[in-house]
Chain A
Amino acid sequence: MRKHPLNTRRDFLTTATAALSVSAVAQSGFARQSPSSSDPNSVKKSRPIAWVNATLLPVDKPQIQNGVIVSSAGKILAVGEAKSVTIPGDATVVDAKGKWIMPGLVCTHSHIGGMGAADGSSPIQPGVRILDSINVRDSGFRRALAGGLTTINIMPGSGHLISGQTVYCKLRYFESSPRVVDEILIRDKDGASMGGLKMANGTNSQGDSPFPGTRGKSAYLVREQYLKAREYQAKIVAAKGDATKLPPRDLHLETLVEAMQGKRIVHHHTHRHDDIMTVIRLSQEFGFQTVLHHVSEGWKVAKEIAEAKLPCSIIVLDSPGGKLEAKDMTFSNGRVLDEAGVKVAFHTDDWITDSRLFMRSAALAVRAGMNRDKAIAGLTLAGAEMLGLGERLGSLTVGKDADIAILNGDPLSVYSRVVETWVEGQKAFDLNNTQDQLYAEGGVKAGSDIDPFLCCFAPAWQGGAK
Chain B
Amino acid sequence: MIHFKSKLLNALFGLSLCGPYALGDPPLVVQAKRVLTATGSVIENGTIVCIDGKIKAIGKTGEVAIPENAKVLKSEVAMPGLIDVRTCAGLSGILNVEHDSDHIERSSPLQPELRAIDAYNPREELVEYIRSFGVTTIHTGHAPGELMSGQTLIAKTIGNTIEEALMVDGRAIAATLAEASSKSGKASPGTRGKQMAMLRSLFIEAQEYQAKRLAKANPKPVPADSKEFENKGTDSKESDKKKEDEPIVRNLRLESVDEVLSGKKALLITADRAQDIASAIRLAEEFKIKIWLDSAADSHLMIDQIKAAGLSVLLHPSMARASGEKENHSFQSASKLKAAGIPFAIQGGFEAYVPKVRVVLFEAAIAAAHGLEYQAAIESITISPARILGIQDRVGSLEVGKDADIALYDGDPLEYTTHCIGVVINGNVVSSVVR
Tell me the complex Cα distance, A272–B182, Å: 36
Tell me the complex Cα distance, A464–B102, Å: 13
Whether B352 lies near A458 (C-beta < 8 A) is: yes
Q: List 22 A-B contacts (CB under 8 A).
A: A319-B129, A319-B356, A321-B356, A321-B357, A322-B353, A322-B354, A323-B95, A323-B97, A324-B95, A327-B125, A351-B323, A367-B419, A414-B365, A443-B330, A443-B332, A446-B330, A447-B327, A456-B353, A459-B324, A459-B352, A460-B350, A461-B179
Residues in chain A near residue B365, CB distance under 8 A: 414
Residues in chain A near residue B370, CB distance under 8 A: 441
20 other A-B residue contacts (CB within 8 Å) besides A320-B94, A451-B321, A465-B96: A143-B322, A318-B319, A318-B355, A321-B354, A322-B96, A322-B355, A323-B354, A331-B435, A363-B416, A415-B368, A415-B415, A417-B369, A442-B328, A442-B331, A442-B332, A446-B322, A449-B323, A449-B324, A449-B327, A456-B353
Residues in chain B near residue A214, CB distance under 8 A: none
In the assembled complex, A286 has its CB within 8 A of some CB on chain B: no
For chain B, residues 89 to 127, give those with C-beta under 8 angstroms from any C-beta of chain A: 93-97, 101, 104, 125-126
Residues in chain A near residue B93, CB distance under 8 A: 321
Task: Determine how close the nearest CB of chain A comes to the CB of B332; give it in whole angstroms.
Answer: 5
Tell me the complex Cα distance, A273–B70, Å: 45
Q: Which 6 A-B pairs have the closest CB atoms?
A: A321-B94, A322-B354, A447-B322, A363-B416, A442-B330, A447-B327
Whether B145 lies near A461 (C-beta < 8 A) is: yes
Task: Determine how close the nearest CB of chain A comes to the CB of B270; give it in whole angstroms.
Answer: 10
Whether B417 lies near A324 (C-beta < 8 A) is: no
Task: Determine how close the nearest CB of chain B comes to the CB of A33; give it in whole angstroms.
Answer: 28
Whether A451 lies near B352 (C-beta < 8 A) is: no
A323/B355 contact (C-beta < 8 A), A143-B322, A414-B414 known: no
In the assembled complex, A259 has its CB within 8 A of some CB on chain B: no
Whether B126 lies near A414 (C-beta < 8 A) is: no
Task: Determine how close the nearest CB of chain B comes to the CB of A348; give it in whole angstroms.
Answer: 12
A447/B323 contact (C-beta < 8 A), A321-B354, A323-B354, A464-B353 known: yes
In the assembled complex, A450 has its CB within 8 A of some CB on chain B: yes
In the assembled complex, B152 has its CB within 8 A of some CB on chain A: no
Whether A415 lies near B356 (C-beta < 8 A) is: no
Residues in chain A near residue B97, CB distance under 8 A: 323-324
A460/B104 contact (C-beta < 8 A), A321-B126, A446-B322, A450-B323 known: yes
Residues in chain A near residue B321, CB distance under 8 A: 351, 354, 451
Tell me the complex Cα distance, A412–B369, Å: 13
Whether A447 lies near B353 (C-beta < 8 A) is: no
Task: Determine how close the nearest CB of chain B comes to the CB of A219; give it in whole angstroms.
Answer: 24
| Beta-carbon nearest neighbor of A357 in chain B | B319
For chain B, residues 164 to 214, give those with C-beta under 8 angstroms from any C-beta of chain A: 179-182
For chain A, residues 170 to 226, give those with C-beta under 8 angstroms from any C-beta of chain B: none
Task: Determine how close the nearest CB of chain B comes to the CB of A404; give it in whole angstroms.
Answer: 21
| Beta-carbon nearest neighbor of B95 in chain A | A324
In the assembled complex, B300 has its CB within 8 A of some CB on chain A: yes
Residues in chain A near residue B264, CB distance under 8 A: none
A415/B322 contact (C-beta < 8 A), A360-B416, A442-B331 known: no
Scoring A353, A360, A457, A460 by chain B CB atoms within 10 A of each residue's CB, the highest score goes to: A460
B residues near A (Cβ < 8 Å) are 93-97, 101, 104, 125-126, 129-130, 143-146, 179-182, 300-301, 319, 321-324, 326-332, 350-359, 362, 365-366, 368-370, 414-419, 435
Tell me the complex Cα distance, A444–B301, Å: 9
For chain A, residues 408 to 466, give those with C-beta under 8 angstroms from any C-beta of chain B: 412-415, 417, 441-444, 446-452, 454, 456-461, 464-465
Residues in chain A near residue B416, CB distance under 8 A: 360, 363-364, 366-367, 412-414
Whether B332 lies near A321 (C-beta < 8 A) is: no
Whether B330 lies near A367 (C-beta < 8 A) is: no
Task: Determine how close the nearest CB of chain A comes to the CB of B172; give it in whole angstroms.
Answer: 18
Tell me the complex Cα distance, A354–B358, Å: 14
Whether B181 lies near A461 (C-beta < 8 A) is: yes
Whether B354 lies near A447 (C-beta < 8 A) is: no
Scoring A331, A447, A452 by chain B CB atoms within 10 A of each residue's CB, the highest score goes to: A447
Scoring B101, B351, B356, B365 by chain A CB atoms within 10 A of each residue's CB, the highest score goes to: B356
Task: Determine how close the nearest CB of chain B comes to the CB of A343; give it in whole angstroms.
Answer: 22
Residues in chain B near residue A446, CB distance under 8 A: 322, 328-330
Tell me the complex Cα distance, A120–B169, Å: 46
Whether B366 lies near A414 (C-beta < 8 A) is: yes
Residues in chain B near residue A324, CB distance under 8 A: 95, 97
Scoring B300, B326, B331 by chain A CB atoms within 10 A of each residue's CB, the highest score goes to: B331
Residues in chain B near residue A322, CB distance under 8 A: 94, 96, 351, 353-356
Residues in chain B near residue A459, CB distance under 8 A: 180, 324, 352
Whether A318 lies near B362 (C-beta < 8 A) is: yes
Residues in chain A near residue B125, CB distance under 8 A: 320-321, 327
Tell me the complex Cα distance, A276–B414, Å: 34
Residues in chain B near residue A327, CB distance under 8 A: 94-95, 125
Residues in chain B near residue A458, CB distance under 8 A: 352
Residues in chain B near residue A364, CB distance under 8 A: 416
Whether A444 lies near B328 (C-beta < 8 A) is: yes
For chain A, residues 299 to 344, give those with C-beta under 8 angstroms from any C-beta of chain B: 317-324, 326-327, 331
Residues in chain B near residue A464, CB distance under 8 A: 96, 101, 352-353
Whether B323 lies near A448 (C-beta < 8 A) is: yes
Tell me the complex Cα distance, A122–B359, Å: 39
Tell me the complex Cα distance, A446–B323, Å: 9
Tell me the complex Cα distance, A367–B418, Å: 7
Contact of A415 among B180, B324, B369 (CB under 8 A): B369
